[in-house]
């Protein structure tokens, strides 16, 4: 294998909360929820959907449950879920590049009760449907390590930037080093996932905390309806939520990922093919940001030399960069990405960042308050970013259907023309792409907000 997993360490300074109060961003209500409905002081329990209420900051100290009334319209479109549970143990079936993924279908269904049990079920060679019924906290499972970190950013607005672990990358060379103690979970340790697994959460309060998932040289994996949170968020190199390296047929669907030290999802150098990332809620709100703006910068990093990925109907919220970064390598290297019907929401920085030898078709995405929807760097990749009726119509000659245009609201920056038709004859010629019919872009915000994240596909 050409790569090893990027890893990091994290500071052991998370403050304890009262057992009866829910911390910021935690769940405080919803259908089937049985936990505490009281938020920490200064937080309000806010309605997100019928299955999920969340403790959020408010201007007052009230903790009253608030339901925000919204009107949503579901568009008629090809979606990744249906009304019934499939033999894989997951709800629905994937579209895009991961079509045909069955996970643990036909295997043993297990419900772990301890962290050790879950670790064993994930990593063994048995075909399994693994049902999570709670949050498995691995934060201190592997102990801590005393190390050094440097400060690459300085905030002058009262916010706290991330510090950077002093490791083999050399980023701290010539910098003042500070003592720091990091959790090994999420840094040098991840939960190894073997082939033919379905990992599915029950309800809206199931998942893992303090550690990520590692899928290396595996195939046929479904990750659905779980939370992955709190991987050493104070530190760059604090851990990735989901690592892919030489993985194929992986469906990452309806998950909630937040407060991560490094990437929400990273694909390493070995090819990652047959990957669909759908209906997830990527929450970038953080107390430690290199941009000094409370937005998570390290969202998605796709580096695999022959990656084929679909990102569809995800809510990408409060990030600042890498939305995704893809490509950047020369030689016999090529990546194909279909970016469709995603909702980019409050991005204080850039979204799409296509590097050399990446081929990107972006259609039907909605950009709300995004500073820079597409970097279009001079060393950038090959893109077809649909903005006009004419550009949408050109697709029919290559794909047998028109493309859906991307919409930018009035608070979003402009995008220069990026309509290289070779993308359509390349990415657009693949059945996983031309067979995926987008919903109308006007329906994207309401649909995504009503259908993303945990608690929707119980």
Note the pLDDT tens digit of each residue in 431-445: 999 999 999 999 999
The catalytically annotated residue of 128, 259, 322, 452 is 322
In a domain, 214, yes or no: yes
Whether 65 is covered by a domain: the verdict is no
DSSP state of 365: -
Domain count across the chain: 2
Distance CA 205, CA 60 (A): 27
| 340 plus 251 within the same structural domain | yes
Decide: 380 and 356 in contact? Cβ < 8 Å.
Answer: yes
pLDDT(260) > 90: yes
Higher pLDDT, 12 or 216: 216
Cα–Cα distance, 427 to 410 (Å, whole number): 30
- Residue 371 forms part of a structural domain: yes
Q: What is the mean pLDDT of residues 319-332?
A: 92
Domain holding 399, by residue range, is 96-451
What pLDDT is attached to residue 379?
Answer: 67
pLDDT tens per residue, range 68-114: 232 233 333 444 444 467 789 999 999 999 999 999 999 999 999 99
CATH at 139: 2.160.20.10
pLDDT score, position 37: 87
Q: What is the mean pLDDT of residues 200-204?
A: 97
Q: For residues 133 and 52, which has the higher predicted lDDT (pLDDT)?
A: 133
pLDDT at 130 over 80: yes
Q: Are 373 and 440 contained in the same domain?
A: yes
Clarify whether residues 297 and 349 are in a common domain: yes
Tell me the pLDDT band of 237, cut-offs 50, 70 and 90.
very high
- Please tell me whether residue 433 adopts helix, strand or coil conformation: helix
pLDDT at 148: 96
Q: Closest Cα to residue 452, out of 325, 317, 332? A: 317
Percent of the chain whose predicted confidence (pLDDT) is above 90: 78
pLDDT category, 56, cuts 50, 70, 90? low
Q: Mean pLDDT for the chain?
A: 88
Domain co-membership, 354 together with 221: yes
Mean pLDDT across 148-159? 96
- Same domain, residue pair 49 and 112: no
pLDDT for 226 equals 98
Instruction: Please tell me whether residues 33 and 113 are part of one structural domain.
Output: no
Q: What is the pLDDT of residues 409-419, one digit of tens each?
A: 999 999 999 99
What's the pLDDT band for 370 if we cut at 50, 70, 90?
very high
Residue 120 domain flag: yes
Note the pLDDT of residue 157.
Answer: 95
What's the confidence (pLDDT) of residue 34?
A: 66
How many Å apart are CA 99 and CA 196, to the nearest integer? 15
Confirm whether 457 is domain-assigned.
Answer: no
The Cα 360–Cα 339 span in angstroms is 7
Are both 31 and 170 inside the same structural domain?
no
Domain check: are 114 and 38 in the same one?
Answer: no
Residue 257 and residue 378 share a domain: yes
Residue 161: pLDDT over 90: yes
**In the annotation, is 322 catalytic?**
yes
Q: What local confidence, expressed as pLDDT, does residue 30 receive? A: 65
The half-sphere exposure of 171 on its side-chain side, counting CA atoms within 13 A, is 16
**Around Cβ 35, how many Cβ atoms within 10 Å?**
12
Same domain, 40 and 152: no
Q: What is the pLDDT of residues 269-280, one digit of tens each?
A: 999 999 999 999
Question: Is residue 181 exposed (0-12), middle (13-18) or buried (19+ Cβ within 10 Å)?
Answer: middle
pLDDT of residue 392: 98
For residue 74, being part of any structural domain is answered with: no
- Pair (303, 376) in one structural domain: yes
Cβ atoms of 352 and 362 closer than 8 Å: yes
Structure tokens at 370: 């995004």
CA nearest 448: which of 17, 74, 119?
Answer: 74
Pairing of strands 213-216, 235-236: unpaired
Which one of 39, 56, 73 terminates a domain?
A: 56
What is the C-alpha to C-alpha distance for residues 420 and 372, in angstroms, rounded to an integer?
20
Q: Looking up tokens 């500071």, which residue turns up? A: 11
Q: At 61, is the pLDDT very low, low, confident or very high (cuts 50, 70, 90)? A: very low
Give the tens place of pLDDT for each residue, 218-233. 999 999 999 999 999 9
Q: For position 445, what pLDDT does the model report?
A: 98
pLDDT score of 38: 86
- Using DSSP's 3-state secondary structure scheme, residue 451 falls into helix
Q: Are residues 43 and 149 in the same domain?
A: no
């Amino acid at each position: 294998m050409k790569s090893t997993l990027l890893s990091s360490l994290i500071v052991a300074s998370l403050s304890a909360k009262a057992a009866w109060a829910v911390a910021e961003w935690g769940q405080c209500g919803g259908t089937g929820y049985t936990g505490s409905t009281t938020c920490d002081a200064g937080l309000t329990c806010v309605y997100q959907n019928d299955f999920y209420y969340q403790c959020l900051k408010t201007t007052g100290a009230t903790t009253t449950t608030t339901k925000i009334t919204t009107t949503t319209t579901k568009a008629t479109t090809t979606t990744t879920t249906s009304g019934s549970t499939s033999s894989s143990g997951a709800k629905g079936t994937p579209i895009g590049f991961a079509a045909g993924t069955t996970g643990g279908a036909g295997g043993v269904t297990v419900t772990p009760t301890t962290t050790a049990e879950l670790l064993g079920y994930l990593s063994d060679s048995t075909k399994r449907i693994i049902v999570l019924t709670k949050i498995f906290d691995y934060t201190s499972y592997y102990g801590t390590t005393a190390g050094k970190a440097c400060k690459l950013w300085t905030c002058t607005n009262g916010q706290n930037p991330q510090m950077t672990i002093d490791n083999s990358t050399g980023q701290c060379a010539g910098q003042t080093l500070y003592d720091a103690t990091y959790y090994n979970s999420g840094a040098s340790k991840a939960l190894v996932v073997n082939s033919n697994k379905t990992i599915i959460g029950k309800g809206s309060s199931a998942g893992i905390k303090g550690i990520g998932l590692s899928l290396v040289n595996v195939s046929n994996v479904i990750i659905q309806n779980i939370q992955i949170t709190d991987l050493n968020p104070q530190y760059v190199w604090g851990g990735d939520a989901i690592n892919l390296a030489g993985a194929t047929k992986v469906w990452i669907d309806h998950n909630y990922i937040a407060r991560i030290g490094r990437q929400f999802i990273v694909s390493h150098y070995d090819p990652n093919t047959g990957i669909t990332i759908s209906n997830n809620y990527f929450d970038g709100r953080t107390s430690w940001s290199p941009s000094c703006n409370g937005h998570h910068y390290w969202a998605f990093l796709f580096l695999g030399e022959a990656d084929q990925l679909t990102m569809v109907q995800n809510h990408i919220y409060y990030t600042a960069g890498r939305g995704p970064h893809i490509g950047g390598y020369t030689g016999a290297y090529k990546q194909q990405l279909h970016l469709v019907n995603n909702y980019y929401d409050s991005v204080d920085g850039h979204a799409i960042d296509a590097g050399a030898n990446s081929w990107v078709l972006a259609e039907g995405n909605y950009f709300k308050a995004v500073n820079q929807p597409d970097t279009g760097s001079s060393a950038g990749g090959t893109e077809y970013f649909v903005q006009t009726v004419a550009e949408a119509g050109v697709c029919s000659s290559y794909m047998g259907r028109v493309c859906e245009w991307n919409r930018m609201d009035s608070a979003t920056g402009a995008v220069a023309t990026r309509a290289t038709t070779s993308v359509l004859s390349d990415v657009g010629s693949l059945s996983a792409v031309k067979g995926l019919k987008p919903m109308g872009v006007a329906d994207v915000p309401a649909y995504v907000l009503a259908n993303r994240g945990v608690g929707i596909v119980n």
